[in-house]
């Protein structure tokens, strides 16, 4: 179907926010790259090799055998209490006590962003974001019509000392991904976390710490979360998408109780509650320590995939191309010579059966058009080598 | 936890829309009535006796055995194509052809309301609703700050000839529940459906036909949907919550393709997609005609429950109390003498272990405080008799 025709003339008057809606460039590209011959570095999809299908199958069977009425009935907006308690306990580290009454289960982390948009974002008021930032967060917040303020970053992420009053005045929220950021793969260092947590304690707005990738640090040496450093001043978003499976759509928000209560009200109006059945499957699988043995396997796999891509980049890329070496997560961020527009490069690459995501859509303002995001987790190493070689040849041809 | 304290002083500045958010009176009351000794006519919950748990257990097992990677991975925002095709075929009746490209799977019907709010509702612009209407729709739309216009109704529902230009000017959407409406249980007669469909063809805004209860007509003689009468002018909402189980949270929107595409974009920003696994369970259970034998069982059960409540009302209620005799669905709507406020009556009733939902929250404006909604589907007939007797005694005492 050609959507361009259909978008042109809706018969009915739409809301202003709907007229501004655009599709995720990532998802439109993914449609093109579903052809099996395409080597796609575009997806943000975890490797299905890591999905614990048999554990989930056993869990689903037990739940529908033992408690079908509860698993199939309407349930509390806040979420399944044993899962909320498990999450609270998991985040209670280093003397910090997180309460189940702070935890709201969401229909994936994307819903957490929508709910935060509903509750915190006001038309024309500043939302502070990293440069660049997660495209899906921009999509969610944009429905509530904020003004974006991009915060300076370097190759280690946000720079706390740049958070001057003129930049943060009247802001309603600061959105950050401290661990293996999407799209850059950057991890915020410990000393910057401390400074950001101190900033949060004084700020009249919350810092949202979006943390879907935190468990995926290759060395198994996680840095403390902002939540653990300033629990009353941070809104922490977590997800089971990258450590179990994304198709269940189970994520969560940890927030101080007063904000939690408003988020619950917003969720009630949004989808009543996250499916009772999927919440129970997640709890049944994780409750006895499964992640402690499962997550290290994902880390090992992703690390070797990442190593393969770094090796290929070093082997093929011409001078003037730079990239980072992630300590975890799913993404590498690359910069090309300034005259190369990666949107145009993508067209050529797709014609040669290679895909990636151009960097521009990840900028709230003033996009850097010579950037791109490379995902390495689902492509076999030999194909990584082949795909990067193809990309490098295209870049050389434009040099 | 006492929420009243927590709501009083949020530390952070919330959006205007968040400050106006209130909890559903229904859900707050449900919390009180979870005590087993309470006879609750308050719930909108279907009877768990109707949940096909064994069919779902078998379906979940087959799916996680045969296609775990697809069932657990991210998937298309539009929904699982075989389920969309099944829904399109099911609604293609009487010469009308509904296309799978018009169907969007939603995380329950409540999400359909949120997405329609995002795409169609603008601050201060009129949204036309029945008098009274579904409280959950008011909650969803209110986040997008419309002005509500209540449309006149009588005991048979909306009155098409009252849709005069002064009432509908500048409206962005008309929201209606033609089948066994929540809260009134009313079914719109055939001739009014025809008139409303003709109105839709001329109107510069869509009619949203919310139809969760359509299959629950006790005589098994459904009336045609508005969708079947004016397929390009109606947005039809459907749900598996009342015919399979609500805990899976699977609903859908059928809309013309141009609006469908905007709704898909809004859903992408809202929760990416409805869980792949629950969509596949629904499809696996319904694809071979299961509903044709299952739904008649639900109808028979609900009809006998309804008969029990009607008999109890006739037996106990004093003069001045009126109610309708539903032809289907889950609800009876009652009116008491004008001086009785059902919110106050509820306090007395809960003290005597009987619950219902006061009618006032179902009005967008100008609430009728002497009305109430009674749900009969989950209470055994003997308890229905006892509960109605208690209510009647309280009403007599206030006469």
ipTM of model: 0.94
Under 8 Å between Cβ of A294 and A243: yes
**Sign of the alpha-carbon torsion through A71, A104, B121, B166:** positive
Distance from CA of A18 to the nearest CA of B (A): 5
- The position carrying tokens 């492509």 is A379
CA torsion, ordered A79, A81, A84, A90, to nearest 10 deg: -160
**Chain-chain contact of A17 with B114 (C-beta, under 8 angstroms):** no
User: CB neighbours (10 Å) of residue B335?
Assistant: 17
If you measure CA to CA, which chain B residue comes closest to A135?
Answer: B269
Collect all residues with Cβ–Cβ distance below 8 Å to B45 and sequence separation of at least 6.
A73, A74, B246, B375, B377, B378
Collect all residues with Cβ–Cβ distance below 8 Å to B197 and sequence separation of at least 6.
B226, B229, B230, B233, B234
Pairing verdict, β A207-210 and A173-176? parallel
The separation between CA B247 and the C-alpha centre of its own chain, rounded to angstroms, equals 15
User: CB neighbours (10 Å) of residue A16?
Assistant: 10
Count of pairs with CB atoms under 8 A, one residue in A, one in B: 271
- The CATH number given to A3-51+292-397 is 3.90.1150.10
What pLDDT does residue B74 have?
A: 92
Binned at pLDDT 50, 70 and 90, residue A95 comes out as confident
CATH 3.90.1150.10 fits B53-289, yes or no: no
Using CB atoms, pick whichever of A12, A110, A241 lies closest to residue B205. Answer: A12
CATH 3.40.640.10 region(s) of chain A? 74-289
Judged by a CB distance cut-off of 8 A, whether residue A69 touches chain B is yes
**Chain-chain contact of B9 with A258 (C-beta, under 8 angstroms):** yes
If you measure CA to CA, which chain B residue comes closest to A7?
Answer: B258
Using CB atoms, pick whichever of B142, B245, B275 lies closest to residue A278. Answer: B275
CATH 3.40.640.10 region(s) of chain B? 53-289
Under 8 Å between Cβ of A226 and A255: no
Mean residue pLDDT of chain A comes to: 93
Produce one character per residue of A286-320: b if its CB has 16 or more CB atoms within 10 Å, e if not: beeebbeebbeebbebbbebbebbbebbeebbeee
**Chain-chain contact of B266 with A21 (C-beta, under 8 angstroms):** yes
Question: For B332-365, how does the pLDDT look when each residue is reduced to its tens digit (9 = 90+)?
Answer: 999 999 999 999 999 899 999 999 999 999 999 9
Which residues of B fall within a CB distance of 8 Å from A32? Answer: none
Question: For A16-62, how does the pLDDT look when each residue is reduced to its tens digit (9 = 90+)?
Answer: 999 888 766 666 666 777 788 999 999 888 999 999 999 999 999 99
Which residues of B fall within a CB distance of 8 Å from A124? Answer: none
In the stretch 249-278 of chain A, residues with CB closer than 8 A to chain B read 249, 256-259, 261-262, 264-266, 268-278
Question: For A244-298, how does the pLDDT look when each residue is reduced to its tens digit (9 = 90+)?
Answer: 999 999 999 999 999 999 999 999 999 999 999 999 999 999 999 999 999 999 9
Collect all residues with Cβ–Cβ distance below 8 Å to A221 and sequence separation of at least 6.
none
**Chain-chain contact of B265 with A111 (C-beta, under 8 angstroms):** no
Using CB atoms, pick whichever of A13, A44, A54 lies closest to residue B172. Answer: A13
In the stretch 350-389 of chain A, residues with CB closer than 8 A to chain B read none
The H-or-E segment that residue A335 falls in is: strand A331-335
CATH 3.90.1150.10 region(s) of chain A? 3-51+292-397
CATH 3.40.640.10 fits A74-289, yes or no: yes
Question: For A98-147, how does the pLDDT look when each residue is reduced to its tens digit (9 = 90+)?
Answer: 999 999 999 999 999 999 999 999 999 999 999 999 999 999 999 999 99
Nearest to A171 by CA among A116, A125, A113: A125
Which residues of B fall within a CB distance of 8 Å from A265? Answer: 18, 21-23
Under 8 Å between Cβ of A364 and A331: no
If you measure CA to CA, which chain B residue comes closest to A172?
Answer: B13
Which one of A2, A9, A18, A123 makes the best mutation probe of the B interface by having the most chain B beta carbons within 10 Å?
A18
Binned at pLDDT 50, 70 and 90, residue B45 comes out as confident
Would you call B319 exposed, middle or buried from its count of C-beta atoms within 10 A (0-12, 13-18, 19+)? exposed
What pLDDT does residue B21 have?
A: 85
């Amino acid at each position: 179907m050609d959507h361009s025709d259909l978008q042109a003339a809706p018969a009915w008057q739409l809301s202003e926010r709907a007229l501004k809606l655009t599709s995720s460039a990532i998802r439109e590209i993914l449609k093109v790259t579903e052809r099996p011959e395409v080597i796609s570095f575009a997806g943000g999809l975890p490797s299905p090799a890591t999905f614990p299908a048999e554990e989930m199958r056993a869990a689903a069977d037990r739940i529908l055998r033992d408690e079908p009425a509860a698993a199939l009935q309407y349930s509390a907006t806040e979420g399944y209490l044993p899962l909320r308690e498990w999450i609270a306990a998991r985040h209670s580290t280093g003397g910090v006590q997180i309460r189940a009454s702070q935890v709201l289960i969401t229909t994936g982390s994307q819903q957490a962003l929508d709910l935060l948009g509903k509750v915190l974002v006001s038309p024309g008021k500043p939302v502070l974001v990293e440069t660049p930032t997660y495209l899906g967060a921009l999509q969610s917040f944009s429905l509530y019509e904020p003004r974006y303020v991009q915060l300076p970053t370097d190759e280690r992420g946000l720079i706390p000392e740049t958070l001057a009053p003129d930049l943060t005045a009247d802001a309603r929220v600061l959105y950050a991904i401290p661990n293996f950021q999407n799209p850059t793969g950057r991890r915020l260092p410990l000393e910057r976390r401390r400074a950001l947590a101190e900033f949060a304690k004084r700020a009249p707005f919350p810092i949202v710490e979006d943390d879907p990738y935190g468990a995926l640090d290759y060395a198994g040496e996680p840095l403390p979360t902002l939540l653990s450093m300033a629990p009353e001043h941070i809104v922490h978003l977590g997800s089971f998408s990258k450590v179990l499976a994304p198709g269940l759509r189970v994520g969560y928000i940890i927030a101080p109780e007063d904000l939690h209560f408003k988020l619950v009200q917003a969720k009630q109006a949004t989808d009543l509650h996250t499916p009772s059945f999927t919440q129970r499957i997640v709890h049944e699988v994780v409750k006895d320590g499964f992640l402690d043995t499962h997550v290290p396997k994902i880390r090992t796999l992703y690390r070797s995939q990442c190593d393969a891509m770094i090796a290929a980049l070093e082997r093929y890329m011409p001078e003037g191309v730079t990239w980072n070496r992630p300590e975890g997560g799913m993404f590498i961020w690359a910069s090309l010579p300034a005259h190369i527009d990666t949107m145009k490069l993508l067209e050529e690459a797709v014609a040669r059966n290679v895909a990636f995501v151009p960097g521009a859509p990840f900028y709230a303002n003033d996009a850097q058009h010579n950037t791109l995001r490379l995902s390495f987790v689902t492509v076999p190493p030999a194909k990584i080598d082949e795909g990067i070689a193809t990309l490098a040849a295209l870049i050389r041809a434009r040099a």
